[in-house]
Amino acid sequence: MVVRAADWAAPVRDRARDLLRASLDARTGTALAPLILRIGRRERGAYGMELLGAMLRRAPHGAPSSLFIHPDRTVRRFAYRLAAAESLLSPARLARTAASDEDVVVQDLCAGAALAAVREDGDFDDVLEPLLAARNPRARSAGVTALRPAGQPERALAFLADRSALVRACARYVVRQYGTDPLHWYRQRCAEWTNPALPPGAVIGLAECGERADADVLRPLLAHRVPTVRARAVAGLRMLDVTVVEELRPLVDDAAPGVVREVTAALLPAAALLPEAWLTERLSAEQPRHVRIAARRLADARG
């Protein structure tokens, strides 16, 4: 009946829709939700989706909870859209879902719905904490952006060095509105180039909002003891377009594959300047695998 409700022949389609409308309940609707939503993509398939939505709205306690944890992400998206539109879930529950669900559409949908629900009364406490502590950057960025209307913009300083570029950009926006210059903050952190606790996000953050002159702050970090900081320093120099071949060449032999990947990306446009003998030496079997891969990519780029 679900399939025939989208049939091309009107008599078949109408009869199937009558039968489907009479027989669909919460149990069968939950079981058939993946099929209904899949058929809903067809030209005449919208009726099943409308029927499913109406059935879920009439359910005694709203949409069945099994839909919110369904393994099919299309079903979860449908259920959370319905929950957001009908206010079936609390803002705190939506925020926790945004922080834990693996689907980016559900993350955005639930974070937006949770913040919209609390924006009127200004009670952000139960929503902000799950979002700010989320592992996924979509939820964290939503939480950071909400710090401004929540009246807590100073907390955004802690996210200027976040591992996600999206979160860092949102944090910079909030602290600028608060009257703080994020560039000054980044320069102060990166000037502590001997600090083993220097966050890698602060290094790349300096390049994201800095100037070419900030390359002088990044260069000492090429020798930092933490591999991730070295990798972000290379990426920052490339972002500022101030890479020097002879300066980066020694890092092709770095023990950290992440550093070598960033160096390779920075050297590829200037591969013609690399000595052939130097590249050939790094293609030998005695070299670590990540060094051989880098040398092969650079040799290919050199021709």
Q: Which of the two residues, 290 and 59, has the higher pLDDT score?
A: 290
Query: Confidence class of residue 25 from pLDDT cuts 50, 70 and 90?
Result: confident
Number of domains into which the chain is organized: 1
Whether 225 maps to a domain, the answer reads no
Residue 63: the pLDDT is 61
Residue 192 three-state SS: coil
What's the confidence (pLDDT) of residue 186?
96
Q: Is residue 24 part of a domain?
A: yes
| pLDDT mean over 201-228 | 95
Question: Would residue 35 count as lying in a domain?
Answer: yes
The reported pTM is: 0.84
Q: Per-residue pLDDT tens for 35-77?
A: 999 999 988 989 999 988 887 777 665 566 778 888 899 999 9
Is residue 2 situated within a structural domain?
yes
CA distance linking residue 144 with residue 158, whole number of Å = 10
Residue 227 lies in a domain: no
Find the domain containing 31 and state its range.
1-70
Residue 205, in any domain of the structure = no
Position 162 in a domain: no
| Structural tokens at position 74 | 């299309």
Q: If 0-12 CB within 10 Å is exposed, 13-18 middle and 19+ buried, where does residue 189 land? A: buried
Residues in the chain, total: 303
pLDDT for 122-171, tens place per residue? 678 889 999 999 999 999 999 999 999 888 999 999 999 999 999 999 99
Does the residue 213 lie in any domain? no
